[in-house]
Amino acid sequence: MMRKVVLDTETTGLEVEGGHRVIEIGCIELLDRRPSGREFHRYLNPERVIDPGAVAVHGITDEFLRDKPRFAEVADEFVAFIAGAELLIHNAAFDTAFLDNELQRAGETFGRVADHATVVDTLALARKKYPGQKNTLDALCKRLGVDNSHREVHGALLDAHLLADVWVAMTAGQGALALGLDATGVHAEAVRVAAWDASIRPRVLRATDADTAAHAARLAAIDKASGGSVWKREETADA
């Protein structure tokens, strides 16, 4: 089974073409649909000012990022973390465009995100599963019963954790199967159900003499009414 990494970013603004940069990366690793405990989380100095509108969304300020590393300083570690994984990203085109730009700035040898991992857009998955509905992360949390009451502002690591819960619930087909559920309990329940199914044996009911006679009488009546039934012709041919 391919290792999965849930990824989210925060940026200085909305348009990478306008020179906006990544200021936070949050990744969590999933093994067997559960967090492994491995995370990659970095705040980054974008070497430019953050748009006021972006600050209102994520609460990250220029002053806070002043002493943080540049992306190039963590690029090797980031690429190593996502290497060979299936990346789960909500509105993946946005995040990968920014990350590809950062990788290019860090050096041509880093390539693009798609050179290191397979990208899965969870927004596209949600739109397919819930067509015509609102499929923002907040909307999906509400629909699937994922608690996001502590999400006062956006944050890459926080949103990655929420997206992981949403993805598990969405792909399991039931909101109750969230990441907080004990894996042993899930496995035990699966084994119990499988054992119950295996114990079922079909009950064979054989026809009595009366059943056989009634069946023969019914076929004779059909034969008489139809001027020669298929069953009767087959019986004659077999004889």
Q: Identify the active-site residue in 20, 58, 90, 154.
A: 154
**Is 58 an active-site residue?**
no
User: Residue 42's Cα: distance from chain center in Å?
Assistant: 23
- The rounded distance, in Å, linking the Cα atoms of 233 and 9 is 75
The answer to whether residues 78 and 103 touch, using CB atoms and an 8 Å cutoff, is no
Among candidates 97, 23, 10, 18, which has minimal Cα distance to 58?
10
DSSP 133-196: S--SHHHHHHHHT---TT-SS--HHHHHHHHHHHHHHHHHT-TT--TTS-HHHHHHHHHHHHHH
Distances in Å between the Cα of 196 and the Cα atoms of 24, 80, 174, 184, 199 are: 49, 44, 22, 18, 5
Q: For the chain, how many residues are written?
A: 239
| CA angle (232, 236, 238) in 5-degree steps | 115
Name 95's Cβ contacts closer than 8 Å, sequence gap at least 6.
Answer: 7, 8, 9, 89
Would you please indicate which residues are annotated as catalytic (active-site) residues? 154
